[in-house]
Amino acid sequence: MLFVRSHFAWAEVIIILNFFNLASLYFRHNTYPRFIHTPVVSAPLAWTFVAIYWNGAIMVPHPDNLVARIFGNIFIWSLLVFGGFYIVVYNDYTIGFSLSVLAAAIGVAQFLDKVIALQWIFAFVIMALLFVATVTIAVPASAGRDITWKRRSDDAERAPLLNE
């Protein structure tokens, strides 16, 4: 309601509070089954992260300014960092899929708005990277295996045999 009535500063405060609420929910309940976890936690968290930037971009007084466009081109990469964190640390492919869909939507919207710009190219690159990382996690998870990002050393396997 605040967004519709053009109270963007108050809407930003509420969105940020909602983001912290969803993030704390995620960290407390990240092991729930994926058919519950996706619609309740990870998809709303991804949407809220994008909504923070969307509402923030609307609050900018001169959005066609060069500085605003440069910040937009920089901030879009935070989608990759945010999604990469959850993909690598928690092996959560649901938030990766959600953010890749949202990055594709941003890319299409920016392409239809300004054909000669970098932001839509960045959005599609981010979408592709998130999608590949997500599929890398999702395929082994669907087979019941877990992918680990850390290398195991041979000493870790022999450790029980050592007299330590």
Is 43 a residue whose pLDDT tops 80?
yes
Cα-based distances in Å from 78 to 32, 83, 99, 147, 153 = 26, 8, 11, 24, 33
Find, among 86, 104, 75, the residue nearest to 45 by Cα.
Answer: 86
How far apart (Å, rounded) are the C-alpha atoms in residues 160 and 164? Answer: 8
For residue 113, pLDDT beyond 70: yes
Task: Kindly give the residue spans of alpha helices, DSSP state H, lying in 32-152.
Answer: 34-37, 43-59, 66-75, 78-90, 93-113, 119-142
Kindly report the number of other CB atoms within 10 A of residue 76's CB atom: 23
Please give the structure tokens belonging to residue 98: 């959600």
At residue 149 the predicted structure's pLDDT band, cuts being 50, 70 and 90, is low
Which range is least confidently modeled, 78-82, 123-127, 136-140?
A: 136-140
Token pair in block for residue 15:
């969105």
With 90 as the cut, is the pLDDT of residue 25 above it? yes
Cβ atoms of 156 and 107 closer than 8 Å: no
Is 28's pLDDT higher than 70? yes
Q: How confident is the model at residue 150 (pLDDT cuts 50, 70, 90)?
A: low
Cα angle at 71 between 64 and 75, to 5 degrees? 125
Single-letter amino acid, residue 9: A
Give the residue-averaged pLDDT of 139-143: 83
- Mean pLDDT rounded to a whole number for the chain: 87
Q: Which two tokens stand for residue 52?
A: 């923070």
Q: How many other C-beta atoms are found inside a 10 Å radius of the C-beta of residue 148?
A: 9
